[in-house]
Amino acid sequence: MSITKLEQMLDVLKERPKKRMAAAWANDSHTIVASHEAVKIGIIDAILVGDKAIIQKTCEEHNIDPKDFTIVHVDTDSKAAAKAVEIINKGEADFLMKGLISSDKYMKAILHKETGLMNPGAVLSHVSVIEPPNYHKLIIVGDVAIIPLPDLSQKVAITNYVIKTAQLLGIETPKVAILAISEQVLPKIPSCVDAAIIVKMSQRGQIKGAMVEGPLAMDLVVDKESAQIKGVTSPVCGDADCIVFPNIESGNVFYKTQTKMCGAELGAIVMGARVPCVLSSRGDSEKTKLFSIALAAMLA
């Protein structure tokens, strides 16, 4: 079954064994309500790591029974992140979630050389699954939040992550667009050159399981007519499942334009660690956090 709406992840997960989630500094209402919704649906068991008194008070304010969770008390956000990662490393949870903690402290716990969640040589990258109201399918994008200016090897890793995510959502051969400023291979623009190399790597079998096209400007990625006008013939044009961005600015602007101006919903995680790690913004909605939990559970 190919998942075409974010809500469908919940239906799929109901038919699978429950996953276990450890949430770091889970003191805020959005994290608690989203976690409880996932528990109530029956897709996860949740361990909330944070200030127990605050968590219990927040539960009471939202008519949630704190006994629906396992609560692990710590008194600071940094300790909460370290403890949540420790729970993962002990095999007591299947994926990690970010609560009311800054991204840098959350990432520090994941990246810690001795106690973190990284294998040597792994590339950590952010992957979002977005449901835009003005596009005909889900769009899977990376990287919008972690790697400022990915080099070629990091772009290859990001490409593989979005392909893996698409396949786990039931898209057998995802169509991947490598974004650049132009559809021409312009030697002086690194994003165009990198895109051309990644496409050739895909053609040679170094990147597997997807149809990869690039460089492509954004109009060609989402609009088949624009591609026809510009003389570019590719099944990816106007029908992309995935977009690989050339830098964090372009990715982050796309992400926030979709959510804040277009009303898109999404799920967001970090890939490259030993387990999926939910990384939504502290200001994201309860629904976005629920979909992020579901996405991590799908990949765990």
Q: Where are the domains of the chain?
A: 7-120+277-299, 125-260
pLDDT of residue 286: 87
Q: What is the pLDDT along the chain (300 residues), one digit of tens a residue?
A: 689 999 999 999 999 999 999 999 999 999 999 999 999 999 999 999 999 999 999 999 999 999 999 999 999 999 999 999 999 999 999 999 999 999 999 999 999 999 999 999 999 999 999 999 999 999 999 999 999 999 999 999 999 999 999 999 999 999 999 999 999 999 999 999 999 999 999 999 999 999 999 999 999 999 999 999 999 999 999 999 999 999 999 999 999 999 989 999 999 999 999 999 998 776 678 899 999 999 999 999
Burial class, 124, CB count within 10 angstroms (exposed 0-12 / middle 13-18 / buried 19+)? buried
| Contacts (Cβ under 8 Å, ≥6 apart) of 51 | 27, 73, 74, 75
CATH 3.40.50.10950 fits 7-120+277-299, yes or no: yes
Q: How far apart are CA 277 and CA 260, in angstroms?
A: 23
DSSP E strand boundaries for 143-285: 175-179, 211-216, 242-244, 265-271, 277-278
| Residue 159 amino acid letter | T
pLDDT of residue 92: 98
Q: How far apart are CA 99 and CA 51, in angstroms?
A: 12
Architecture of the CATH domain 125-260: 3-Layer(aba) Sandwich (3.40)
Is 300 in contact with 94 (CB distance < 8 Å)?
Answer: yes
pLDDT of residue 282: 65
